[in-house]
Chains A and B, each alone.
Chain A
Amino acid sequence: MKRLEVLKTYKIYIGGKFPRTESGRYYTPLNKKGEQLASVSQSSRKDVRNAVVAARKAFGGWSERAAFNRGQILYRIAEILEGRKLQFIEELIFQGSSKSNAEKEVNVSIDRFIYYAGWCDKYSQILGSVNPVASSHFNFSVPEATGVVGVITDQTSSLIGLVSLVAPIIAGGNTCIVLASESKPLCAITFAEVLNSSDVPDGVVNILTGSQEEMIEPLTTHMDVNAMSYSGISKNFEKQLKESSALNLKRVSIYSKDWIKSDNQDLYMIADFQEIKTTWHPIENIGGSSSFY
């Protein structure tokens, strides 16, 4: 007897759970051959709202984790990704990649996480400084996570576009809401499963599928989102992004890079989502000539 294949329901990822979209809507993206990829959740503005609430809730814990531990967790993502390589390659091919491109995309994605995992406990030494001042104080500048970041990923890539934006954001202690590629959404949700089994705390990364055009408005106007990261070519999106981000002065970073190239990753993508805090600390020279003690 021929076995009936069990197909996966591609649901969205909010707060460490895989709910269906609140709206109950679905869309069915097709690949180049006209085959149906899957029935994918078409998220609504309320899903965006819920995702922001989850990301905000996760922010305190994630940003306060020891930098070394964040590095361990990013490394763990890479490990789990490596173990599920074949599934990602299969999905990429189904969505229209050639075999060699698919393999390369997954390998670069894994390496990218390793790269940013290494930075976790090092970027603050490079981006921070001890500043010279004219009094008996230490004066430090240290980077701190910006907060909740909205991520609008590249339409043209299913995995590497998402990984390249998300990795530096979470490496820096931020949490995020990701609008996945609308036409190639499969890897985004499978990647959510990787996150879910990699010790990444619930709500640190939230992934929504559906119409980016529909979700960009509630996401970019949301007062509880502190920054936006965009990779893509739509000038309309860019304009809308900049305009609505002005509402609460969101940090906006727009990238147009070929993510598959292994050198399109750097420390400054972490710096894009850091705030620099400067603090003064008096130098108490105990027992010294100017000491009160």
Chain B
Amino acid sequence: MKNDTTNIVLPDFSKSPRIDKVGVEEQVAKFQKRSVKAETKKQGLRMALNMIDLTTLEGKDTPGKVKQLCYKAQHVHDILPGLPKVAAVCVYPSMVGVSVKALAGSGVKVASVSTAFPSGQSPLSVKLMDTKFAVSEGADEIDMVISRGKFLSGEYNFVFDEIAVIKEACGEARLKVILETGELVTLDNVRRASDIAMYAGADFIKTSTGKIQPAATMQVTCVMLEAIRDFMDTTGIKVGMKPAGGISNSKLALHNLVMVNEVLGSEWLSNEWFRFGASSLANDVLMQIIKTETGVYQSSNYFSID
């Protein structure tokens, strides 16, 4: 399902709500203190596994490595039968073809970063070609980056138009818009960028590229979730959320799920509306799942290398 925002009246983005940083921090601290009981934790871990976009975005990626990742996406840990598959595999455009072939018929989606990821410092024509190439190779989802430089200089229209044009180029593919919150400096900016992205037609908003620190902090994710909630209230359009980068253990993943549930509600608790962009999270979640099954703390030696 793709979002259509073409007939929505646009607000003045310079008037996006201001964020109370201290308030957000207090709120986030509460989400981290919820007591999660054993059975809930079991379900939560499986849910988290099913929401992962298994990611490899490195200069040294090869078709061999991507194939191996695609295999892992479908067979996360065959020793324990009945585990869910991950949601998607996230790769560079040049690796989309390999991934599509390797994942054919599995139900695991192929996401491709594009628009001169991770900096986005290229002319629009290049970004469009990048996107169209990924789509033509068969990507189900496109993860674009916004132009942070333009955003920080106040050229909101430029950022908006760029997203809208890329959205068109996506065709049937769902569009995730990466804000790269680590470069946006303030939570006010995060909120504004979220609003721009959603009104311009984002199907998902995503925190980070994973190349810049800090990445998906709970504070940032919280602000973005609230933006999604407000957007839903105003327009009736549902937008997905993808925190990416820095979520490397199960505890953090569960905290995030608690937050999604409390800010947006349980309708967002599926991989159609919520994703984790991560490479090492899957193994930690697996280790925790095995721990809950066997009662024994696990070692990474017995899990696949990611």
Chain A interface (Cβ < 8 Å from any Cβ of B): 49, 52, 56, 218, 221-224, 247-248
Q: Specify the main secondary structure of chain A where it touches its partner.
A: helix
Q: How far is the CB of A98 from chain B (nearest CB, A)?
A: 42
Q: Which residues of B contact A223 (CB under 8 A)?
A: 296-299, 301-302
Main secondary structure of the interface of B (DSSP, over half): loop
Is B304 an interface residue, CB under 8 A from the partner? Answer: no
B125 sits at the interface (CB 8 A): no
* A218 neighbours in B (Cβ, 8 Å): 297
A224 B298 Cβ-Cβ under 8 A: yes
Report B266-306 CB contacts with A as 1/0, cut-off 8 Å.
00000000000000000000000000000111111110000
- 5 further A-B pairs in the complex, CB-CB below 8 A; given A223-B297, A223-B298, A224-B298: A221-B295, A222-B299, A223-B301, A224-B299, A248-B299
Do B301 and A224 have beta carbons less than 8 Å apart? Answer: yes
What residues on B are CB-neighbors of A56 within 8 Å? Answer: 299
A-B contact pairs, 18 of them (CB 8 A): A218-B297, A221-B295, A221-B296, A221-B297, A222-B296, A222-B297, A222-B299, A223-B296, A223-B297, A223-B298, A223-B299, A223-B301, A223-B302, A224-B298, A224-B299, A224-B300, A247-B296, A248-B299
The 5 closest A-B pairs by CB, nearest first: A224-B299, A223-B299, A222-B297, A221-B296, A223-B298
Point out which of A56, A218, A223, A248 has the most chain B C-beta atoms below 10 A from its C-beta. Answer: A223
Taken together as a complex, chains A and B put the C-alpha atoms of A56 and B302 apart, in Å, by 14
User: Hey, which chain A residues are within 8 Å of B299, CB to CB?
Assistant: 56, 222-224, 248
Q: Which residues of B contact A248 (CB under 8 A)?
A: 299
What total of A-B pairs shows CB separation below 8 Å?
A: 23
Q: What is B's interface to A at a CB cutoff of 8 Å?
A: 295-302
Interface centre among A52, A224, A247 (most CB of B within 10 A): A224
- Assembled-state Cα–Cα distance A223/B298 (Å): 5
Q: Which of chain A's residues has its CB closest to B302's CB?
A: A223
Most buried by A among B295, B299, B300, B301: B299
* A248 to chain B: closest residue by CB: B299
Cβ contacts under 8 Å, A52 to chain B:
297
Min CB–CB distance A49 → chain B (angstroms): 6
A145 CA to B299 CA, complexed, in Å: 17
What is the bound-complex CA distance between A52 and B296, given in angstroms?
13
**Distance to closest chain B CB from A93 (angstroms):** 39
Q: Within 8 Å CB of A224, what residues of B? A: 297-301
B296 touches A49 (CB 8 A): no
- Residues of chain A lying within 8 A (CB to CB) of residue B302: 223
Q: Which residue of B lies closest to A244 (CB)?
A: B296
A223 to B297, CA, bound (A): 6
Chain A residue numbers with a CB within 8 Å of B298 are 223-224
Q: Name the residue of chain B whose CB is nearest to the CB of A223.
A: B299
Q: Within the assembled complex, what's the spacing in Å between the Cα atoms of A224 and B296?
A: 10
Give complex CA distance A223, B299 in Å.
5
Q: How far is the CA of A281 from the CA of B295 in the complex (A)?
A: 44
A224 to chain B, nearest CB (A): 4
| CB closest residue in chain B, given A48 | B297
Chain A minimum-CB-distance residue to B287: A223
**Residues of A contacting B300 with CB < 8 Å?**
224
Complex-state Cα separation, A144 to B245, whole angstroms = 35
**Identity of the chain A residue whose Cβ is nearest the Cβ of B300 in the assembled complex:** A224
Cβ of B204 to closest chain A Cβ, rounded Å:
33
Measured CB to CB, the nearest residue on chain A to B296 is A221
Cα separation A112 to B169 with both chains bound (whole Å): 72
**B78 CB → nearest A CB, Å:** 18
